[in-house]
Chain A
Amino acid sequence: MPGATDAKPTKPLKNPCNLCQSVRAILKRPKTGQQLCKECFFHVFETEIHNTIVDNKLFNKGDRVAIGASGGKDSTVLAYVMKLLNDRYSYGLDLVLLSIDEGITGYRDDSLETVKRNRDQYQIPLLIVSYKDLYGWSMDDIVKEIGRKNNCTFCGVFRRQALDRGAIMLNVDHIVTGHNADDIAETVLMNILRGDLPRLQRCTSIITNDTSEDSSGIETSKILRSKPFKYTYEKEIVMYAYFKKLDYFSTECIYSPNAYRGHARVFLKDLEAVRRTAIVDIIHSGEALSASVQANESTKLPTMANCTRCGYISSNELCKACLLLEGLNKGLPQLGIGHTTKIRRMAEAANLASGLSSPASLSSSAASGAAEENIKVVTHIKDLGQLETMPSLDSV
């Protein structure tokens, strides 16, 4: 063991902090290799996020901002830091917590308990929006119907819309999410591997707005989304939560093996082991690629319009959530999974035959009484009035 004998921890200040020089370091920063003591780490971590917020002009004074909160490490640290920076630097933000209840027994119900504790600990009001209320189907229901294959497709599509719907109910200007640098680098890799240029663009921007590049002038959502942790490493988020003793929930979703992301993640960690800057390098290359996509006019990105059924932003006549719901309610859950264009054509042909305008006519292809009952809620978000009956804002 090289040097082991002359490096006993009893020796005073074996590893002094690179900043204050006077306290033992407790963390080696993945970004820089710098070693920091606890207090200097807290200061640097918080200040970098503050700088990200200020440099990118994420907020305006008086903005009402929803923090997408799952109870996991990233969103718990985000809620804590947003509250702290809002107070410390007088951002003047009106903060609320927004959680999505996918309806996954033994997973989301437990993590929502964590969010409720965060609500009390940080004194931030909380709204929970459920798939069951929005779409008529919980993830437990969906998995019962379709099995464990492809259920993540439903969950992902539904979650994105659910967050927007929740934000509308809360009347917020902005949603912040806890995506960190490691998550973004993984997503860049996955989008490159799939050749998904629109998503590649979206995933690297620190701030997005569904309508910002929409020349059609149709607006569904003016709600901004941003990622204040875009340059924050996962290791530092976890260490921050550990040293601050923040209360977070850490169980993997019971339905999600998420194998593809898992491989991207391991690959990324292996790259990082041989090249410290791998994560920022990959984020940078994602940004460079999307800049060149934007510059190259011959690369057609889908034009955004609105879903004819629910009005949500969509590049097709029916948005993905309505397509998936139609499949569920007709007892044809494959609808919307796999080769979308082909299946859309099938769906459109089926609708021409049965008449698209009337949801009740959908029952012609699914005769059971249970299907009939589900059809009552097929219009999901079309009925914004129905949302009034959603759980009211659960204030502290």
Chain B
Amino acid sequence: MSQSNTTLRIELQFSGGMELLFDNQKTIHAKVPAFFPLDDSAEEKHAATIRDLISWTASNLLKERPELFIGADGSVRSGILVLVNGADWELEGELDYELEDRDEIVFISTLHGG
């Protein structure tokens, strides 16, 4: 099984304070599974979406205080902005956006004081 079929190269960026939850890393080059759910016995698999990426990131990369990253319904906490390849995810289908190899996903927290 070749690596390229099963994982996607995704560049994750964290800013606006989001990086503090990820060991102060502003950029993480991640190899994200291309299909979910990960459970091998799952009958039907679907191509990875941002919804999958968020929970995968929370279980694999997040270092602390998951409640500051994860919100209701498997989304990010309200107040976190998400960009997909430089554009507001609200223009890209939000949680249902299907990831592609070499996508760049940015998470920006708006929650810190001004």
Contacts and interface: CB of A to CB of B under 8 A. Distances in A.
Interface string B71-96: 00000001101010111101111001
A394 to B, nearest CB: 22
Interface stretch (A48-56, A139-147, A235-243, A344-352): A235-243
A1 B98 contact: yes
Given A2-B96, A7-B93, A265-B79, A72 B88 contact: no
A15 B87 contact: yes
Contacts of B49: 1
Contact of A28 (B17, B88, B100): B88
Contacts of B66: none
Nearest to B113: A72
B20 to A, nearest CB: 7
Interface residues on B, range: 20 to 34
A251 interface: yes
B93 A239 contact: no
A290 interface: no
Contact of A250 (B17, B81, B92): B17
Nearest to B16: A250
B29 to A, nearest CB: 20
A269 interface: yes
Interface residues of A, number: 39
Contact of B91 (A3, A28, A179, A237): A28
Contact of B98 (A4, A25, A73, A256): A4
A252 B108 contact: no
A217 B81 CA distance: 48
A242 B20 contact: no
Contacts of A252: 17, 111-113
A26 B15 contact: no
A226 interface: no
Given A35-B91, A70-B114, 19 more contacts: A1-B47, A1-B93, A1-B96, A2-B96, A3-B93, A4-B93, A7-B93, A15-B87, A24-B87, A27-B87, A27-B88, A28-B90, A178-B114, A234-B110, A235-B110, A238-B108, A242-B15, A256-B113, A269-B79
Interface of A: 1-4, 7-9, 15, 24-28, 35, 70, 72-75, 178-180, 183, 234-235, 237-239, 242, 250-253, 256, 265-266, 269-270, 273
8 contacts: A1-B93, A70-B113, A73-B114, A242-B15, A250-B112, A251-B112, A270-B78, A273-B78
